[in-house]
């Protein structure tokens, strides 16, 4: 029975829920799991990455447009979604890096930034929580902070002495990290493209990316979700300011991707139940 299973994804920006784990999300929704996405920021400082949307009117209304995009993606994925209410930090560039904008998400104290997530966990009561690893998946300050508050909230939500005014304590059972852009997966897609006589979009990236067996060993859980890759792509395209339909996201044909790498991959970072590794289910040990 899946009616009582609840899954919470903690993401930094609108669009992250569609670019990381969206196919396995759709699979669990189809199975009857109640899935919630907590979005830390509104993506207010995100760049417009789709040339067709790079217009003054879009830039002037980016906050509202990104909320509308999130609404559309939420409907496509069949999930619930809550905004944690923090302000996008932007991606600092330069040498030296500029200071973070005052009051932005990544500038906050972890214990303060985690508070609305603790409240949400106690209300939604998920058995499983996912987020990024300690590097944020990539070193965006909001992604790193997202990791930090998710870990802190996972530990604090069940502690009656922590955040006593934020609801009845509740302890999730498993915490996972997304591993989306790892070398093993990229190499498999690259090889599959070449085998089809197609140009690989990953050739340049793989050229200097040396194998790291220790990092690949971090993956404990591979969720077969290829039947939902097309739905994932629809959710991605809903984030029209962020996703170029003619860009790299869709350079690998769907059927090639489904055959070469049919899973979405996770690292079991913390578990209060026993399950046998490797897993093929985020709810292993809980069903």
pLDDT for 9-23, tens place per residue? 999 999 999 999 999
pLDDT of residue 223 exceeding 90: yes
Predicted pLDDT of residue 162: 98
Gap between the Cα atoms of 251 and 73, Å rounded: 21
CB atoms within 10 A of CB 215: 14
What pLDDT score was predicted for residue 97? 83
Give the C-alpha separation, 45 to 79, whole Å: 25
Closest CA relative to residue 266, chosen from 254, 249, 281, 252: 281
Q: What CA–CA distance (Å, rounded) separates 170 from 173?
A: 10
Report pLDDT for 215: 85
**What confidence score (pLDDT) does residue 183 get?**
95
Q: What is the pLDDT at residue 62? A: 93
Give CA separation, 91 vs 18, 124, 144, 159, 160, in Å.
20, 31, 12, 34, 36
How confident is the model at residue 214, as a pLDDT?
Answer: 85
Return the minimum-mean-pLDDT range out of 62-71, 203-212, 227-236.
Answer: 203-212
Confidence band for 247, pLDDT divided at 50, 70 and 90: confident
What pLDDT is attached to residue 3? 63
Q: Are the beta carbons of 155 and 116 closer than 8 angstroms?
A: no
Residue 194: both structure tokens together: 């070449």
Cis peptide, bond prior to residue 119, ω within 30 of zero: no
Picking from 150, 163, 87, 79, the residue whose alpha carbon sits closest to that of residue 119 is 163
Annotated domain spans of the chain: 6-180+218-271
Instruction: Say which CATH superfamily domain 6-180+218-271 falls into.
Output: LmbE-like (3.40.50.10320)
For 18-29, what is the mean pLDDT?
Answer: 98
Q: Rg (Cα) of the chain, in Å, rounded? A: 19
- Indicate whether 2 pLDDT > 70: no
Q: What is the pLDDT of residues 84-119, one digit of tens each?
A: 999 999 998 888 888 999 999 999 999 999 999 999
pLDDT score for 123:
98
**Least-confidence region, from 68-72, 195-199, 208-212:** 208-212
Per-residue pLDDT of 124-158, as tens digits, reads 999 999 999 999 988 899 999 999 999 999 999 99
The average pLDDT across 234-242 equals 97
What global pTM score does this model have?
A: 0.96
Angle between helix 62-77 and 229-238 (nearest 10)? 160
271 three-class SS: strand
Average pLDDT of the chain is: 95
């Amino acid at each position: 029975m899946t009616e009582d299973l609840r899954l919470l994804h903690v993401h930094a920006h609108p669009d992250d829920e569609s670019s990381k784990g969206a196919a396995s999300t759709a699979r669990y929704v189809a199975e009857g799991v109640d899935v919630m996405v907590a979005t830390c920021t509104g993506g207010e400082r995100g760049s417009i990455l789709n040339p067709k949307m790079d217009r003054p009117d879009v830039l002037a209304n980016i906050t509202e447009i990104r909320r509308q995009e999130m609404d559309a993606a939420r409907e496509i994925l069949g999930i619930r979604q809550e905004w944690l209410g923090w302000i996008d930090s932007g991606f600092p560039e330069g040498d030296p890096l500029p200071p973070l904008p005052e009051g932005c998400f990544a500038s906050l104290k972890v214990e303060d930034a985690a508070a609305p997530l603790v409240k949400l966990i106690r209300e939604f009561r998920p058995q499983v929580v996912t987020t990024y690893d300690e590097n944020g998946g990539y070193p965006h300050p909001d992604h790193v902070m997202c990791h930090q508050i998710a870990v802190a909230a996972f530990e604090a939500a069940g502690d009656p002495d922590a955040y006593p005014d934020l609801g009845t304590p509740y302890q999730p059972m498993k915490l996972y990290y997304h591993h989306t852009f790892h070398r093993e997966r990229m190499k498999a897609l690259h090889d599959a493209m070449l085998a089809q006589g197609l140009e690989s979009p990953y050739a340049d990236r793989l050229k200097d990316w040396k194998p790291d067996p220790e990092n690949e060993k971090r993956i404990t859980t591979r969720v077969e979700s290829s039947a939902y890759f097309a739905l994932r792509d629809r959710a991605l395209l809903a984030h029209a300011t962020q996703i170029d339909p003619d860009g790299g996201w869709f350079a690998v044909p769907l059927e090639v991707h489904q055959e070469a790498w049919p899973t979405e991959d996770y690292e079991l970072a913390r578990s209060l139940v026993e399950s046998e590794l490797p897993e093929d289910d985020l709810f292993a040990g809980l069903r």
